[in-house]
Amino acid sequence: MSFESLGLAPALLRALADNGYATPTPIQAEGIPLVLAGHDVLGGAQTGTGKTAAFGLPLLQRLAEGNKPAAGPRKPRALILVPTRELAVQVADSIRSYSKYLRLNVTTIFGGAGMGPQVDNLRRGVDILVATPGRLIDHMQQGTAKLDAIEILVLDEADRMLDMGFLPAMKRILARVPSERQTLLFSATFESQIKQLALEFMRDPKQVQVAAQNAIAATIQHRAHPVDGSRKRDLLIDILTRRHSEQVLIFGKTKHGCNRLAEQLETAGLPAVAIHGNKSQAARQKALNAFKSGKARILVATDVAARGLDIPNLPLVINHDLPMVAEDYVHRIGRTGRNGMTGEALSLVSPDEAQLLRQIQRLLKADITLEAIEGYEPSRPIRLDGNAPGAARPGGQRPGGNRTPRKPGHRAHGKPADRGAHAHAHTGQKQGQGRGQGQGKPSGRRDSRA
């Protein structure tokens, strides 16, 4: 499979070669021909699958081939709606790099930045507008953004836009875009609201799904360390100190918590940068660049700020706090285990978060190894589903009793047999549905405590 065979124009092929893209990803191989043929497309894909190029390349080609707009400042012909400013910047950067041999320009519009420069850019003429819904509404109200020439509309990370409460804004925007248009919707999940949006605003959409709903890489190991909330920071520092060579993305619950955590890590001699919604766009981009270039080893982020960030494949993601909703766990750890590489997701789980952990376990349908770390055992036990009652003990979580809790930072490298044995000996919480792992069968699950 090559990009040529998908029917892309030479100007785009040259740009792809410059970008070092040799072969299309699955969502690109399936999606590009459909978009080129003018279909509406409903894409099930999350960040890291190459979805931006899957819609960006054929979008550019259709604009380049389409009727040339009348003279004078150009009105946008394509609108890409995204949930966050980071994603807006990232999508615009990608589209610019794909369009470097085409005469099309790209402008971003997002909140948290001055209106003035955005208005100037819009006045100068735009072909492709990448916008967050709230700020676009501001521009529509001021009359600075005109949407009556839109030919292609993309809703990127539609599920996230809904999560962030953008549905009313999206509907207002959709009402102002010509009904004669091509609509592309990308979403990691397809809950009923997304289906409703598609029914209402798309025409006979073709579905492209690159992974099962909520699927996550089978190469990721999930591990949860039970620990009291008050000791999480110390445990984290312990783990990070022992695993000093790996780049790691750490998720925290609140903006304030992330800042404080980054400061505490710094104080402990672990330089870290934080990224969250309260920071200015420039500060967030600076932190992200430091992390991407490898200058910063540790990035602390909130869910919203990290959403859609183009973070390279990481060996390790740590949840200092579990996310508020189980689905966000999937988004968080989408940053590890990409492209068949191994990845590890560690969660520090306080007894108060046990219920959330069980919800995550049910959603994942994958193994989570629950493992107390010596010296950090929680005051109340935590259990996963499938644990025999009373299996986990205060202060140890260890039914077998003849092995001591693990030292922090010790990595159980992924032989499936190890993992199975491990789960049996420790807590037995293997749920037996790990993708392709073929171990942890329910029938053999309880023998360690029988």
Question: Residues in the site for ligand AMP, rule: CB under 6 A?
Answer: 21, 24-25, 28, 47-53, 310
Give the separation between CA 408 and CA 376, rounded to whole angstroms: 9
State the angle between helix axes of 167-176 and 192-201 in degrees (0 to 180), rounded to the nearest 10. 10
Give the separation between CA 332 and CA 319, rounded to whole angstroms: 8
**275 beta partners:** 301
Residue 102 tokens read as 């085409």
Diameter over CA atoms, the chain: 80
C-beta of 11 vs 421, nearer to ligand AMP: 11
* Shortest Å, Cβ 315 to ligand AMP: 17
C-beta of 266 vs 310, nearer to ligand AMP: 310
Give the separation between CA 157 and CA 66, rounded to whole angstroms: 26
* Shortest Å, Cβ 88 to ligand AMP: 13
425 touches 403 (CB < 8 A): yes
Q: How many CA atoms lie within 13 Å of 207's alpha carbon, on the beta-carbon side?
A: 13
C-beta of 184 vs 354, nearer to ligand AMP: 184
Residues 6+ apart with CB under 8 A from 438: 416
* Shortest Å, Cβ 386 to ligand AMP: 34
C-beta of 47 vs 429, nearer to ligand AMP: 47
* Shortest Å, Cβ 52 to ligand AMP: 3
- Judged on CB neighbours under 10 Å (0-12, 13-18, 19+), 234 is middle
C-beta of 28 vs 397, nearer to ligand AMP: 28
Are β-strands 128-131 and 78-81 bridged in parallel, bridged antiparallel, or unpaired?
parallel
C-beta of 236 vs 333, nearer to ligand AMP: 333
C-beta of 6 vs 145, nearer to ligand AMP: 6
- Judged on CB neighbours under 10 Å (0-12, 13-18, 19+), 257 is middle
Per the listing, tokens 């309260």 go with 278
* Shortest Å, Cβ 59 to ligand AMP: 13
C-beta of 28 vs 387, nearer to ligand AMP: 28
Q: What is the DSSP letter of 269?
A: T
* Shortest Å, Cβ 28 to ligand AMP: 6
C-beta of 16 vs 248, nearer to ligand AMP: 16
* Shortest Å, Cβ 200 to ligand AMP: 26
C-beta of 207 vs 254, nearer to ligand AMP: 207
* Shortest Å, Cβ 49 to ligand AMP: 5
Give the separation between CA 195 and CA 330, rounded to whole angstroms: 20
Give the separation between CA 424 and CA 410, rounded to whole angstroms: 18
Between the two ends of the chain, the Cα-to-Cα distance in Å is 53
Residue 433 tokens read as 């549905």
* Shortest Å, Cβ 53 to ligand AMP: 5
Q: Phi and psi of 381, rounded to 5°?
A: -75, 155
3-state secondary structure of 318: strand
111 touches 27 (CB < 8 A): no
79 touches 131 (CB < 8 A): yes
* Shortest Å, Cβ 87 to ligand AMP: 9
* Shortest Å, Cβ 78 to ligand AMP: 16
C-beta of 51 vs 426, nearer to ligand AMP: 51
Count of helix runs (H) and strand runs (E) in the chain: 16, 14
